[in-house]
Structure 1
Amino acid sequence: MKKGINAWSFAPGTSPEEVLRLSHSAGFQGAELVLGETGKLSLESSPQELVSLRGRAEELGIEIHSLATMLQLQYNMVSDNPVVRQKALDATKVQIETAKVLGAETALVVPGYVGVDFIPDAETVRYDRAYDRALEAFSELAPFAEAAGIRIGVENVWNRFLTTPREMRGFLDEVDSHYVGSYFDIGNALGTGFPEQWIEILGHRIVKVHVKDYRTNPGGLSSFVDLLSGDVNFPEVLRALTDVGFNDYCSAEVTPYRWHPEQSVYNASASMDRIFGWNQN
């Protein structure tokens, strides 16, 4: 397994170049960058800017292994509004193309939502319609991703959709493409189940992993905590990942500290070394 970190672990406004520099300094092998609608790394970025960013990663000796985005939460892929659905689909195709130019392997994609508690005024979509629309969307995205050589990782997020490991497995099997798998989030799974069970059930379908910790009491967004300070049973998670033969990136996604936010990056690196048994004498 390889050690990575997601750009959301850094203070807001941290440039992609600084994310790469700090990630390398903290001992991470790879970084997962984030695509925005506007800004330094966004739908507006030129090929020259992306090639320059990839070159910076190569200079540092760190891999851009994945590209995440919040755009599928901004534009719901399963919305009742067909215009919104098309925006989500178009943005995801740009995300895949951008990932390719950056030299990434994976694009993290949220499969739309039935409802989202942490987005004010988010629409509510009937579940069966959401499922059918998601299948249609990923059936279109799968060959697009295959042509680009990028694997889509469908993340389990708090979207009231694909909320159990068996349903996520069934959905991925219906899409039936090597280029559409699971981007499994350990901490997100603990809100409704047990991450080690998700891993066992999803098995070979997992393409990348997000490493978070979570306290089940009291629960909610404020219960995401520093690694090793929550209720995730990391020994069982490691056992399950080993049992299913997972050997790819596990990337920390932690909340940056209010003061000296870069320290959370170094702490996450040290905690992951302990969790996965890396760099220990």
Structure 2
Amino acid sequence: MSELPASRETEGLSRRAVLGTALAAAGTAATMHGPWGLASAAQAAPGAAAPAGKRYAMKKSINQWAFPYPDKMSIEQCLKLAKSAGFDGIELNYDLDNDLSPKSGTKEYTAIRQMADKIGIQISGICSFLFWPYPFTSHDPAKRARALELAGLIANAAHDLGTENVLVVPGAVHIPWRTDYEPVANDLCLSRAKEAIGKLIPAA
């Protein structure tokens, strides 16, 4: 038996159905590939990279211990090399004998700050190893007092050098590389550290 030809009504309905399906597909494609659709598709796709978020300007700083100071380089050479290497700042170190030490004062620190400004590098902070031989948490009251004294001098140096950042080691329960440090109990260490930092806050 031969197939009967479709009626005009059936034919029109079929065409409308096909057209509607095509339009729906086109709309979906437009949504997926439009300016907002791409982000949605990327989020939905497994393994797709997340949309780029807010970007922050980052600055690079290097510690002065990266240079052979003071044996082979002066502080000026350190500043210049750090600048030429692409660093925005340098963290200087406070000790007992060199440019940043109890031997220096406002005059010397101001000169270093002006030198850094001329070179075009920022003094990002001050660091010191002195809080290991003179811990705030030592059993020796004289060492604890010396730690507070040094911290005050470092705070003054930071002010003169134009930096607000100072690395302070508040204390230690145990210092494995020092044979002259007697371990301190956790609660006593915490108590002494809090007391010391509390005394330093006004100077900061």
Q: TM-score, normalised by structure 2?
A: 0.68
CA distance in 1, matches of 2:120, 2:112: 12
Measured in 2, the distance between the counterparts of 1:118 and 1:12 equals: 23
Structure 2: how far apart are the matches of 1:48 and 1:12? Answer: 21
- Letter of the 1:81 partner, please give it: D
Corresponding residue for residue 3 of structure 1: 60
Q: SS at the partner of 2:156? A: helix
- How many aligned positions are there? 145
Q: Larger % of strand: which? A: 1
Quick one: distance in 2 between partners of 1:142 and 1:60? Answer: 32
CA distance in 1, matches of 2:132, 2:84: 31
| 4+ long deviations beyond 3 Å | none
Q: Is the 8 A contact 1:23 1:31 kept in 2?
A: yes
Aligned mates of 1:119, 1:68 — CA distance in 2: 19
Q: Which has the larger radius of gyration?
A: 2
Match of 1:56 among 99, 111, 115: 115
* Local SS of the residue matching 1:39: coil
Higher relative CO (CA 8 A, sep ≥ 6), structure 1 or 2?
1
- The residue number in structure 1 matching 2:8 is none
State how 1:205-224 maps to structure 2 within 5 Å: none
1:94 pairs with 153, 156, 160, which one?
A: 153
Equivalent of 1:29, from 88, 94, 98? 88
Match of 2:97 in 1: 38
Alignment of structure 1 residues 56-205 onto 2, 5 Å: 56-145=115-204
SS at match of 1:115: coil
Normalised by the length of structure 1, the TM-score is 0.50
SS at match of 1:105: coil
Kindly report the root-mean-square deviation, in angstroms, between the aligned alpha carbons of the 2 structures. Answer: 1.2
Aligned with 1:41: secondary structure? coil
**Cα distance in structure 1, aligned partners of 2:75 and 2:168:** 19
- Structure 1 residue 46 displacement after superposition: 2.4
Gaps of 5+ in 1: 146-281
